[in-house]
Chain A
Amino acid sequence: MSEAIWSPLAWFNYLVIVYFVLLNGVYFATAVFAFAALRRYALRMKSIDLGDLLGSSGTLPVSLIAPAYNEEATCVEAVNSLLTLNYPDYEVIVCNDGSSDGTLAALTEAFHLVEAVRVPVSSLPTARVRQTYRSRRHANLWVIDKENGGKADALNAGINYCHTPLFCGMDADTLLERDALIRIARPFLEDSSTVAAGGILRIVNGCTVRRGQVVEVRLPNSFLARIQVLEYLRAFLSGRMGWDAIRASLIISGAFGMFRRSTVVAAGGYSTDTVGEDMELVVRLHRHCLEFGIPYRIAFVPDPVAWTECPESLSVLGRQRNRWQRGLVQTLIRHRKMLFNPRYGRPGLIAYPYFVFLEGVGPIVEIVGYVAFAGTILAGWARPLYILAFLTVAILFGLALSVAAVAQEEFTFRRYPRLGDILRLFGIAVLENVGYRQMMSWWRFKGAVTALTNRTGWGAMERKGFQESADRPAPAARSLKPSLTAGATREGMG
């Protein structure tokens, strides 16, 4: 046994335990912060009259920038949904990123697009813009047709043509709730130093959608999608809310976030050489504002909801998580200057180290840890009882955090009206520990290794289209799209 204690393997086992304690300690702390913050938020919202804000001429104009690549199947419905939002002054800019299918033709036919001049007001570098179009049916709808350059490039093109002080970066197939814009714009009204705000992403699989709006919320039938519902609840209600409570948010989802245009332009726009452009932008905004002494706030708001479709096959999910992990690690490497640097305040001293050591390198420690544990048992250096006890604590800790996230959902928004759905989420919280967590670690491990060895590549997302009604599923509108959503891990669903 003494030989084992001093062997590298034993030391590594202790490292895994320290990693585990730290990781779960942070999760637990953010969950506690999130509970307090959600309670305050729910009370605060009781004193705010959204109708009052909507009726005010003081709301800031917003542009919704929706990059689209080969979205022929869903783009018309998604744009129709964007045109029905409750907000006094907004326009929609769809950036067709060199689609090879009929995206532009579908938009042209549905919205009567005509060529129209629009002057760019900033000059972020992008692939060539071929033409700008305006809808004859909706004066606030513009389409920018450009050569393919990726999601970040399309967003940058949209920003160049954005004439409003705020813009909302999103995916073309994201469904926004009608009040989502006024809710996410609220931090910009209440604090003029706000430069970015993120909303919550929820899983649309299983829900009933009519005319671009989710009218009935249900858990998906697919087991894999159900697990992701729980993951998203944990990531947004516990994770992001908790980090926001200590003013150290490093991630705003690329599928739904609002930004102050001038600050983003000054910071250089989206980075086109990372697959995690959403996190990279937020980290860069922190750096830009702190380095130039600009007072700023980056907020997370838990009630503006964007609905998004999640993968239902292991291969697509694996590619997505691999990509998110690559984006995370690429961003962390690029901005490593922030690590433990007091100049960057809480983001540099608390959030960044957490993301580097626990989320970035974490999957490598986890996977090697599984191997090391197995080796330790096989070599007879540790009692199986000891390993069993450790795994039990690990599973129970994860279970406690998942159940806490369900409790937070019930405490605040209660989007799942059926008690059965809540009970199913409890069941998922138990089952995800067997197999799913290990697969997740493996995908993230591969993503981290790829990022560290500088290999790049794009995943593909299989879209099924939204379910029109519970009894009449929509035709299988499938499209393969390149990875348009990047983000991070357990704490940062793209």
Chain B
Amino acid sequence: MSAVTGLLQADPADATLVLMLGASALMIVLVLVFAALTLVMRLRHSRTAARLWRLERRWTGPLMDALADPQRIQALRKRVESSEESFLLRFLLRHYRQLSGAERATVCEIARPFLPRVERGLQGQDPENRAVAIQILGSLGLPRHQEVVLRALEDPSPLVAMVAARALARTGDPGHAEEVLASLNRFHRWSRAYLASMLAAVGPSVAPALRRTLVDHRLDPWVRAVSADALTELNDLESADLAAAAVAQTNDRELLASTLRLLGRVGSDEHLPAVEAHATSDDFVIRACAMSALGELGREEVTPRLIGALADSSPWVAIHAARALRRAAGPQLLQDVAGSEHPGSLVAEQVLLEPEYA
């Protein structure tokens, strides 16, 4: 206190000088601390890397033995000390991703005794650490730890919930996929395409749940659109009528675009009127999706509309129409357009040269 009083009573220049000297001392301490921290981290990382390398060398042989003969799992477990468990789990996780079937099951069995400690780590406050724990449990710990992973869908952190959702979707279990679907609203910020792909990766067994979601008007249209996109990836023929009904009823842009894409993929010519109703939409995205669907569903009867759309004010609509025309009527008509003075001749030429058609 007396030092502060002294400083205040001193000549301003002297006080400034003292402050600057104090700041210099503080900076010197900071420089030394940061430099020491850097060197300590370097040493620590080097030692960890060397230790990991030694451990992996020690474990790789027994792991290969266990994969060849699951009776020899215990031999690997015996080589793991308690301080090495986290290294082992990372090692196993890396191999788990490269394996499949019975070999994956063997890796999970090796990890089994070490997972309760990981589960206890879920009590922590740090969402990133919880996400890592769920990633390990969701890969190496299913189905034994599935309750924990399912609960993680409700975790306050969206990161943890997404790691859990991905793990559950990877199991291919439709029951798990339904749980993920029920919590889809939590992932509103995620890319729709990514979520649809994650759900479709479950396989055809998830289709009934997706269909139920698609027709549930109480749900957010965004959730229904994700379901429609997943059904499109699955080529689910049974959802054609549901998609047609959604196309007729919804005004939501995302849902309409998704259901038009779905209808184009799995619909039939009886669904043409539902699609044609949107071919003159004011929204270019909807028009483009409608053109694609027309090309999938129709034949000669849609070609006049598609040729007209080659001159659409939106280049996206024109490109979709040209690709649709190629599908509906074959290359000849498109070649005729390309060789003419039609305003869509350039688009036609581009689509004719696209590798998937050339």
Contact = CB atoms under 8 A, between A and B. Distances in A.
Interface of A: 1, 40, 43-44, 46-47, 49, 51-52, 56-60, 116-122, 134, 139, 163, 188-193, 382-383, 385-386, 389-390, 392-393, 396-397, 399-400, 403-404, 406-407, 410-411, 414, 419, 422, 426
B191 A399 contact: no
Interface in B245-280: none
Contacts of A426: 35, 38
Contact of B38 (A1, A44, A118, A406): A406
Given A58-B196, A410-B38, A47 B159 contact: yes
Contacts of B134: 47
Interface residues of B, number: 54
A393 B199 CA distance: 58
A271 B194 CA distance: 32
B349 A58 contact: no
A233 to B, nearest CB: 12
Contacts of A393: 20, 23-24, 27
A411 to B, nearest CB: 6
B106 interface: no
A47 B131 contact: yes
Given A58-B194, A392-B24, 9 more contacts: A43-B129, A58-B195, A121-B319, A386-B16, A389-B21, A396-B23, A400-B31, A410-B38, A422-B39
Interface string B114-128: 000000000000101
Given A117-B350, A399-B27, A407-B41, A44 B196 contact: no
Contacts of A116: 350, 353
Given A43-B128, A47-B135, A403-B38, A117 B349 contact: yes
Contacts of B24: 389, 392-393, 396
**Among A119, A193, A403: residue with most chain B CB under 10 A:** A119
Contact of B20 (A58, A122, A189, A392): A392
B235 interface: no
B158 to A, nearest CB: 9
Contacts of A118: 350
B147 to A, nearest CB: 20
B315 A43 contact: no
Contacts of B45: 410, 414
Nearest to A165: B193
Interface string B182-197: 0000000111111111
A43 B41 contact: no
Nearest to A55: B201
A46 B86 CA distance: 13
Contacts of A47: 128, 131-132, 134-135, 159, 163
A44 B190 contact: no
B97 interface: yes
Contacts, number: 138
A119 B315 contact: yes
Contact of A58 (B39, B135, B198, B346): B198
A189 B192 CA distance: 8
Nearest to B356: A139
A493 B52 CA distance: 36
Contacts of A403: 30-31, 34-35, 38
Contact of A193 (B162, B189, B318): B189
B17 interface: yes
Contact of A396 (B28, B163, B191, B346): B28
Contacts of A190: 162, 189-191
Contacts of B42: 410, 414, 419, 422
Nearest to B49: A414
Of A59, A192, A392, A414, most buried by chain B (CB within 10 Å of CB) is A192
Interface string B155-169: 000010011001000
Q: Which 6 A-B pairs have the closest CB atoms?
A: A58-B197, A43-B128, A58-B194, A396-B27, A47-B131, A403-B34
Contacts of B39: 422
Contact of B190 (A189, A392, A400, A414): A189
A197 B276 CA distance: 39
A44 B30 contact: no
B189 A60 contact: no
A117 B355 contact: no
B87 interface: no
Given A392-B24, A399-B31, A121 B316 contact: yes
A188 B191 contact: yes
Contacts of B350: 116-119
A187 B355 CA distance: 30
B37 A407 contact: yes
A389 B27 contact: no
A121 B315 contact: yes
Instruction: Name the residue among B38, B192, B318, B346 with the largest chain A CB count within 10 angstroms.
Output: B38
Interface string B1-18: 000000000000100110
A139 B346 CA distance: 19
A60 B190 CA distance: 12
Contacts of A56: 194, 197-198, 201
A118 B162 CA distance: 39
Contacts of B194: 56, 58-59, 189
B233 interface: yes
A174 to B, nearest CB: 26
B72 to A, nearest CB: 28
Best-buried of B20, B41, B316 by chain A (most CB within 10 Å): B20
B306 to A, nearest CB: 16
B128 to A, nearest CB: 3
A22 B1 CA distance: 27
A191 B349 CA distance: 37
A43 B197 contact: no
Contact of B191 (A40, A189, A407): A189
A43 B160 CA distance: 12
B166 A52 contact: yes
A120 B38 CA distance: 51
19 contacts: A46-B128, A47-B128, A57-B193, A59-B194, A119-B346, A163-B319, A189-B190, A386-B13, A386-B16, A386-B17, A389-B17, A392-B20, A400-B27, A400-B30, A403-B35, A407-B37, A410-B42, A410-B45, A419-B42
B355 A139 contact: yes
A352 to B, nearest CB: 26
